A = this chain, B = another copy of it.
Amino acid sequence: MTRRRRTHRIRASAGEPKRSRRAIPDRYDFDLMPPVTTPIAFTSEEIDAVAFDADGLVPAIVQEQGTNQVLMVAWMNRDALERTLQTGRTWFWSRSRREYWCKGETSGDRQYVRAGYYDCDMDVLLFVVEQEGRGACHTGERSCFFRAFGSGATPGHV
């Protein structure tokens, strides 16, 4: 039980309320259950209508369900998009490594897709997810957008 609680502990970042995960005896602890993977329905017309760029890519925003916090942005090609909708986990195409990656497969910080949207000109996607683990950013921050302009944070690629 202790191990599972550690796995699902959420790192509280600045300004975010700390979530208490204390187990309550004699009560079924839904909070400690792992998230459920659910495929997202789609049609081939929807996939065909996505305006992939010259490199066959489209930016995908990942937003946290409930808080609506923007967690990260990464790129999808047609295959990554189909994998995401079919598996209910976020799949991306890494432009630098030139390979597919499923978010959280190495870090454990998995994303369980609850809904997917396309914008009015169909060149940006938005996925609402349940974020497992410590968060979406490789730095350990919950969101990749943890530095504000004028905040005194050190800019640069981290």
Interface string of A107-144 (1 = CB under 8 A from B): 00000000111111110101000000000011101001
* A80 interface contact, C-beta 8 A: no
Contacts of A32 in B (CB 8 A): none
Binary interface encoding of chain A residues 138-152 relative to chain B, with 1 for a CB under 8 A from any of its CBs, else 0: 110100111111100
Contact indicator B70/A126 (Cβ below 8 Å)? yes
Question: When A and B form their complex, which 5 residue pairs have the shortest distance between CB atoms, in order from nearest?
Answer: A41-B150, A68-B68, A49-B155, A117-B145, A119-B144
| A20 interface contact, C-beta 8 A | no
Chain B hits for A51, CB < 8 A? 157
A135 CB, min distance to chain B CBs, angstroms? 11
Looking at chain A's contact residues, the main secondary structure is: loop
User: In the complex where A59-B59, A61-B70, A68-B69 touch, is A46 in contact with B119 (Cβ < 8 A)?
Assistant: no
Asked if B118 contacts A145 (CB within 8 A), the reply is yes
Total contacting residues, chain A, CB less than 8 A: 45
* B-binding residues in A (CB < 8 A): 40-43, 45-46, 48-51, 59, 61, 63, 67-70, 72-73, 85, 115-122, 124, 126, 137-139, 141, 144-150, 155-158
